[in-house]
Structure 1
Amino acid sequence: MNPYVLYFSEINKSSLALVGGKGANLGELCRIPGVEVPAGFCITTQAYADFINTSEEFASLLESLRFIDTESLAEIKTIGERIRAHLESLDIPDPIEQEIVHAWKLTGNQHAYAVRSSATAEDLPGASFAGQQDTYLNIKGESELLAHVRKCWASLFTDRAITYRAKNGFDHRKVLLSVVVQQMVFPEVSGIMFTADPVTGNRKVVSIDAAFGLGEALVSGLVNADLYKVRADRIIKRQIAVKKLAIYPLADGDTVKREIPLEWQSEQALADEAILALARVGRLIEEHFGRPQDIEWGYAGGKIYIVQSRPITTLYPLPEVADNRPRVFVSFGHVQMMTDPIRPLGMSIWEKTMAVIDNQYSLVPAGGRLYLDITDSLASWLGRKTAPVMYSKSDALLSSAIAEVIRRRDFIATLRPRKQAAGAKSYTRKSMATIAGSTFEMLFREKIEAPDVSAIAGKVIGELRRDLTRLSGRERLDLIAGHFSKGFEVFMEGIGRPVFAAWMASMLIGWLARHWLGEPSPLDELTKSAPGNVSTEMGLELGDLADVIRPYPSALEYMKEADDAAFLDGLGRVEGGEAIRPAFTAFLAKYGMRCPGEIDITRPRWREKPTQLVPAIVSHIQSAEPGEHRLRFAQGKVEAEQAAQTLLLRLKRKMGGSFKSRLMGKLIRTYREFIGLREYPKYLMVSLLDEYKQAIMEEAARLVERGTVDRAEDVFYLTLEELTAAVTTGQADQGKIAALKEKYAEYEKLKPPRVLTSEGETLFGSYTPRELPAGALAGTPVSSGVVEGRARVITKLEEADLGKGDILVAPFTDPGWTPLFVSASGLVTEVGGLMTHGAVVAREYGIPAVVGVDDATHKIHDGQIIRVDGTQGFVEILE
């Protein structure tokens, strides 16, 4: 094999290191029957390496890129120009030049050629690098070819290529460049084809952009293009653009822009027959590569030529399911207020749990997140009516996305329910019993009393702890695999009824207030300082802890710099440590199982990483006076009681006032008594997860001792089944673990859609248009009032820095974020609904809150002055 030149016929996907992504893909394209690829060859990365190694100066220039400031455009421009100028001044070594010229003559020196870059980190499944290096068209003659090969090599250091690599973590020294030399096709029409709709993600739709002349005009954005969409060999959309310009080749080389005659500008560029033929070619290519493709094509002399194909890297991954049945999936993370990726161990526990509880509503992984299959629900008329309402309390935009799917009648008509399993029927019966019991409790039982949730949970956790202690190895992991669903059983049988009663009471209170008084729901006032909310109690106890720490500045300084492993022991060596340590220990004993993103068992708990709490403690000390948090809570209780009395007195003055007041009073008592319990199921779930985690980490430590894994945390990248196998056999696939770590780094960059269909369509939801102030960000109002203050955009609890009057802006808040609510004057989140954690706690604390503000943590910048209108549901950026 020639080290410097490889012809397309000699190349396949295994040639990536020698010819880069674009070159390898061209080699693969040439192997697909029915796909026409213009002839050509690749100048290998070995040629590039030998070329740059002729220069000692280049090595020092390359080294300087390691320390470049990616935000400094001037610095990038300066170093980029120096490197490019240097490379273009170097001579190509004779052996390399001779091989290039020989391949050119053999391929046909009478032809014009396109000279394109093909980097080893280009056109890959995880990063396309599209457009980062230069392309040269209509190159003729030996000297021009060699000059443009050198230019191509130099273009590895364009400003955009340097910036892209630096920001995406690619080592400049490890990215090598091959050059593709391909015969030019001079098409009448050319363009780009996506074998999945790049806007909606729909894998059933081929999307084609087409314009006159060479495709470079379209790729570079110089011209508008026609848009055609094809589904099942049928054109479903034609959007004809006014095409004023085109790029054409010149006879002696190079290209020129020309204006298209007026009578052609609005003509359909590609005939219907050619559109359908092109779509069929696209499907052939997609089938060969096994994933949706972004394809550059040209149409000349009645033939379709493919000049490039790369994976579409912007599509959200689809759930893997056992059959091809049309399905609809909703984001479990948006329901649970945690949209970050969950590692395989955490996902497998939830998948097994949902399978035990209800085979009809299975959880499936996609893009590092879990999605709930709600196909069976949407296949029924009743399900389509109730699903948007049910999910609206979790996340208004999720409800909107589900409603959008329901409006697509053609797709909905294809949904078919599975045969209901016995376990599902049992679960349905339990649910109906809960609803019936809740209704009775709310409307007919005069004396109501919250159940002893601590005793219920204590019994389950105590039994689990005892069983885990007496078992080890496979038996211990088998116990975990079948145990988690017990938490749901406790929820349904122990506190499901009162929680559901509180939810139903909230709906009726709002409806009756509107119907009888013509006013909005009074829930914001009635929710303040509700009893029995374990998350609120945790926030109050953290305030107590902060007040213990407050008199000892040296202890606080120690905590800011402390190591997690020695955190508590180190307190004994600082002033005030003897008073602080027992208080901190007691807090961790009660709440140490919690953390942000706590539904993922692999997240570090506060007991493992207590320094996560320090910023919240500092913020509390900075923003509140000693004991202020307790006084505010007491005041909130008084305000709630006054609001209830005022409401009942007003109702008494209405016609039928005695009945209305009595019914509303019963609903308010039910709501106040039980609404705090809605946080307890998650408290129980997290407590169980923490018990599992402690047992799992003991097994992981043994795997490290046996040399099965390098670090105990590596087991997070195994499913529970894989972990059980590793514990049993002493073997684990280290390569798979390493690959999953890289994959999860990619997943962190993805924005999970609220709804996914089996066709790949991604839906994020939208708000019904309404009158808002200019530039305001729409959201869902969940806690009334208006507040102005400094925005503190916080994506990680351990990086929190809230001062007095600051407004918390976060991607989501679950109970692990509660410590910050004590300090915040307002709340803005990207995810949430009326009954989710952030909304309920914000109402309890009486702070204005707007949730479901799409992309809030990017649209609002840290430190900006903003106004949060929790009554109307929008956020204004004031400064």
Structure 2
Amino acid sequence: MGFVYSFNSNETPELVQVGGKGMSLILMTRHGLPVPPGFVLSMDFFKPWFDHIKNTPEWQRVINSAPDELKMHSAALKRLCAGLKLDEERRKAFVEALDTLEDGRKGLLFAVRSSSPEEDLEGASFAGGYETTLGVNRETIEDALRRSFASCLDERVFVYKKEHGFPVDNPRIAVIVQVQVPSETAGVAFSLNPINNCYDEAVINANFGLGESVVSGAASPDTFIVDKVSGKILEKKAGRKETSVWLAPDGGTYEKPSSFRQDMCLKDGDVLSLVNMLMDVEKYYKKFVDIEWAFAGGKPYLLQARPITAYIPLHEEMQTAPGRQKLLYLDTTLAKQGIHEPLSVMGADYLSMFEAKTGKAMTGKNLSGIVDGTGGFFQGRMYLNISNNIKLYGNLTSPWTTWTGQQPSHPLTSGHWLPGIRSSLKSLPM
């Protein structure tokens, strides 16, 4: 039974023991990325606390509570956690891990973060539901452990689990203890653009001080958009940076108004350095990721990495090659164009033939095709290629003149193409 897993250990723990966040930091450390040193207290480390909690009346009230009572009962359950104590075996393992991490450096501060087995996984995001305590010293670290443990009993966690099909009667938590980086600048970064869903763009949000002001939304951060293919910074937008969070020398954090709101908090070289680190993480995971990062002493650090769960996945057939001009599609099923449900295979084939014949009747060409034509069908859905349709309409006079022998003022409303369409309809198999 393992209680403590160091980030730099050669041992690979089970995900259920260290959670998604803890596993990610272990793997990123092993991959050679600049992760501040630390360790994970496993789920087994907290087993006595869970056993105790589950034998209390407060636990039974939470499990059996009505939705309007859940907040009250979960708060009472969390209050019980303030009195939890470590047994001798676990305290010994914890103190030894802290001593190893300090390595003789007295006064070292720590960041204490939750790492649930269900948290930060692809397809699930408990962001904001669990507890992080920054600037923790040796005197306050057990209180920070109890707060992180208690956060898995929060009302928001129970509600999220119920809504997403996770069992609510088996809470699980691991806790990360990591050397605190006294950052001058920090924030988050995304390996795709979450605003426009562009796979070729990375987005960085940054503020002075610790990243808490960015993660919590307390400040409007600076934003940088970078083309991952060319390495060009496409956009720099200064945020208001209303406040910033800083590390107190003796422990804890404090807030202060930003003194340099008009200044961008990252230089261009720092931005590109972060993008390189971000792409390294993306390459490792083979999926889009977001990270939390920090700059201290001119050096970038990776604090967290996780899969992006909220974006629009594109079918491989509809993805443009990196660096190429993007295509704009319209899903007509979502647009309610008389097709409200995915099409059957036969229905898609039938409409695809109609589209091909109609396009040929109008222009003399087969315009069917999702990428090269005006649209098509994929996995039961009908997509219009808006980009190619705009090109077609802009150049419609030439093929129209060739086909009809005259210049139309409004080619799409002209009746000259109707006989061709009728002929195409008659030729469809019935």
Report whether the alignment pairs 1:87 with 2:84.
Answer: no
| 2:338 equivalent to 1:329 | no
Report the TM-score, using the length of structure 1 for normalisation: 0.41
Which secondary structure does the structure 2 equivalent of 1:236 belong to? strand
- AA of the residue aligned to 1:290: K
Q: Is the 8 A contact 1:20 1:178 kept in 2?
A: yes
Question: Which structure would you say has the larger Rg?
Answer: 1
1:77 equivalenced with 2:71 (yes/no): yes
CA 1:14–1:377 in 2, change beyond 3 Å: closer, same or farther?
farther
Match in the other structure for 2:7: 8
Aligned to 2:35: 37
| 1:19 pairs with 2:28 | no
Q: Which residue of 2 aligns with 1:291?
A: 287
Shift of 1:292: 1.4
Shift of 1:314: 1.2
Q: Could you tell me which amino acid in structure 1 is paired with residue 425 of structure 2? A: M
2:426 aligns with 493
1:381 aligned onto 2:375:
no
> Does the 8 Å CA contact 1:115/1:182 hold for their aligned counterparts?
yes
1:155 pairs with one of 145, 151, 157: 151
Q: Percent of counterpart pairs with the same letter?
A: 24
1:364 aligned residue: 378
For each residue in 1:88-123, what CA deviation from the matched residue of structure 2 results, as whole angstroms up to 9, or x when unmatched?
212222222221111111111632110000111111
The aligned amino acid for 1:206 is A
Aligned equivalents of 2:10 and 2:352: distance in 1?
46
Q: Specify the code of the residue in structure 1 equivalent to 2:218.
A: L
Rounded to whole Å, the distance in 1 between the matches of 2:5 and 2:382 is 45
Aligned partner of 1:103 in structure 2 is: 97
Asked whether the equivalents of residues 198 and 315 of structure 1 are also in contact (C-alpha less than 8 Å), the reply is yes
Give distance in 2, aligned partners of 1:434 and 1:350: 28
- Specify the code of the residue in structure 1 equivalent to 2:85: D
SS at 1:157 equivalent: coil
Point out where structure 2 has 5 or more consecutive residues left out of the alignment: 357-367, 371-375, 397-413
Compared with structure 1, are the counterparts of its residues 383 and 191 closer, same or farther at alpha carbon in structure 2 (3 Å cutoff)? same
Matched, 1:167 2:100: no
How far off is 1:126 after superposition? 0.7
* 1:129 and 2:123 matched: no
Contact 1:120 1:175 in 2 (8 A): no
* 1:282-305 deviation digits (Å, cap 9, x = unpaired): 111111112211211001111110
Conserved in 2, the CA contact under 8 Å of 1:132 and 1:161?
Answer: yes
CA shift in 2, pair 1:290/1:301, >3 Å: same
Q: Matched residues in 1 for 2:60 and 2:10: separation? A: 32
Give me the TM-score of the superposition, normalised by structure 2: 0.80
Correspondence 1:829-848 to 2 at 5 A: none
Q: Does the C-alpha gap of structure 1 residues 147 and 323 become closer, same or farther in structure 2, counting only changes over 3 Å? A: closer
Deviation at 1:259, TM superposition (A): 2.6
Name the aligned partner's letter for residue 329 of structure 1: Y
Instruction: Tell whether 2:232 aligns with 1:234.
Output: yes
Structure-2 change in CA distance of 1:135 and 1:331 (3 Å): same
The 5-angstrom pairing of residues 133-282 of structure 1 reads 133-141=130-138, 143-231=139-227, 232-261=230-259, 264-282=260-278
Distance in 1, Cα, partners of 2:65 & 2:150: 18
Q: Shift of residue 356 of structure 1?
A: 6.5
Pair 1:271–1:355, CA change in 2 (3 A): same
- Aligned residue for 2:36, secondary structure, equals coil
Cα deviation, 1:551-588, whole Å, max 9, x if unaligned, reads xxxxxxxxxxxxxxxxxxxxxxxxxxxxxxxxxxxxxx
Structure 1 CA distance for aligned equivalents of residues 21 and 81 of structure 2: 22
CA distance in 2, matches of 1:339, 1:310: 35
Change (3 A) 1:242 1:283: same
| From 437, 454, 471, the counterpart of 2:419 | 437
> Match of 1:47, as an amino acid?
F
Counterparts of 1:526-605 in structure 2 under 5 Å? none
C-alpha RMSD of the superposition: 3.1
Q: Residue 98 of structure 1: SS of its match in structure 2?
A: helix
Shift of 1:338: 4.9
Q: Residue 691 of structure 1 corresponds to which residue in structure 2? A: none
Contact 1:84-1:157 within 8 A present in 2 as well: yes
Q: Which residue of 2 aligns with 1:852?
A: none
Paired amino acid for 1:285? V
Q: For the Cα contact (< 8 Å) 1:62–1:173, is it kept in 2? A: no
Q: How many Å apart are 1:329 and its aligned residue?
A: 3.0
Please tell me the residue identity of whatever aligns with 1:69: A
Other-structure match for 1:48:
46
Amino acid at match of 1:200: N
Distance 2:172 2:347 in 1: 43
Given residue 369 of structure 2, which amino acid in structure 1 is its aligned partner?
Q
| Offset, 1:363 | 2.3
Distance in 2, matches of 1:55 and 1:116, equals: 21
Distance 1:106 1:355, change over 3 A: farther
Larger proportion of strand:
2
Matches within 5 A, 1:274-673: 274-321=270-317, 324-325=320-321, 326-333=326-333, 334=335, 336-338=337-339, 342=342, 358=356, 360-361=369-370, 362-365=376-379, 370-372=381-383, 374=385, 377-378=388-389, 381-383=391-393, 435-437=417-419, 492-493=425-426
Q: Which amino acid aligns with 1:258?
A: K
1:348-403 CA-to-partner distances (Å, cap 9, x unmatched) read 555665676756244234xxx7352637834x7324578xxxxxxxxxxxxxxxxx
Cα distance in 2 for partners of 1:171, 1:63 equals: 15
Task: Provide the rounded CA distance (Å) in 1 between the counterparts of 2:43 and 2:143.
Answer: 17
Structure 2 CA distance for aligned equivalents of residues 335 and 11 of structure 1: 54
How many residue pairs get matched?
Answer: 386
Instruction: Please show how residues 771-810 of structure 1 align to structure 2 within 5 Å.
Output: none
For residue 198 of structure 1, report the CA deviation from its aligned partner: 1.3
Distance 1:21 1:54 in 2: 25
The 4+ residue runs of structure 1 with deviation greater than 6 A are 11-14, 354-357
Partner of 1:64: 61
Counterpart Cα distance in 1 of 2:303 and 2:266: 18
Q: SS of the residue aligned with 2:140?
A: helix
Q: Is the 8 A contact 2:54 2:60 kept in 1?
A: no
Compute the displacement of 1:14 (Å).
6.9
Alpha-carbon spacing, 1:215–1:95, altered in 2? closer, same or farther (3 Å): same
Q: 3-state SS of the aligned residue for 1:277?
A: helix
TM-superposition CA deviations, 1:491-547 (whole Å, max 9, x none) = 8217x9xxxxxxxxxxxxxxxxxxxxxxxxxxxxxxxxxxxxxxxxxxxxxxxxxxx
1:376–1:267 Cα change, 3 Å = closer
Question: Structure 1 residues 81 and 199 mapped into 2: Cα distance closer, same or farther (>3 Å)?
Answer: same
Q: Tell whether the 8 Å contact from 2:187 to 2:206 is kept in structure 1 after alignment.
A: yes
Cα 1:164–1:372 shift into 2, 3 Å = same
- Aligned to 2:174, the other structure's residue is in SS state strand
Q: Output the CA distance in 2 between the equivalents of 1:306 and 1:131.
A: 19
Structure 2 CA distance for aligned equivalents of residues 173 and 251 of structure 1: 41
d(CA) in 1 for partners of 2:394, 2:344: 27
Residue 37 of structure 1 aligns to a residue whose secondary structure is coil
CA distance in 2, matches of 1:12, 1:330: 48
